[in-house]
A and B are shown apart, each in its own frame.
Chain A
């Protein structure tokens, strides 16, 4: 019930394309859904986050779509750039508790 599922495991997108990463959860007590970006050899960095009372949140080229009834949420990266190549983790937490991470998606943006 604490698990967060994430797909795909890896993703190759051409420069300028849209990268889409999907996540799903079971525990309806989760009330905070962050996305983290991690470059090799670095710690995860918070990219964007959403709470379940909002269906969509956009920050620059990054958009989270949230479907509360389906218990699913996704990250869209518009106009993907080679500099976006990294591993992306969706995550969930509740009541300021520990953050549960998905297994990660390795994104490669090719010129």
Chain B
């Protein structure tokens, strides 16, 4: 049973470009969470999704950031018109159901904006 898969592992974008980060949850997991980690800092919650639904997006910046978890395929975190401050590690976690809070994390995508 493969773990949470994130790709790409590293992503370099120029200012103003779009970044697309993908997350495939563990098999049987229908809940996905996205977190952002700045260098030397903790993980900050961004968004919590279930299949085709956004459950909690209280940690998402109001502009340029969006997330989806379609019925088929991976969850996507999309950042439009990236700026240098978006450079960070973005982690995805998945859990099997809402009641089970044991979340398993992927290896992360390290975004560098140049």
Contact = CB atoms under 8 A, between A and B. Distances in A.
Contacts of B98: 95-97
A78 B42 CA distance: 24
Nearest to B98: A96
A99 B91 contact: no
Contacts of B41: 103-104
Contacts of A45: 105
A98 B33 contact: yes
A55 B33 CA distance: 29
A97 B97 contact: no
Chain A facing B: main interface SS? loop
B99 A96 contact: yes
A96 to B, nearest CB: 4
Contacts of A101: 35, 42-45
A43 B91 contact: yes
A4 to B, nearest CB: 9
Contacts of A32: 101
Given A98-B45, A104-B42, A42 B101 contact: no
Which 9 A/B pairs are nearest by Cβ-Cβ distance? A43-B105, A96-B98, A103-B42, A101-B43, A32-B101, A98-B45, A101-B42, A104-B42, A96-B99
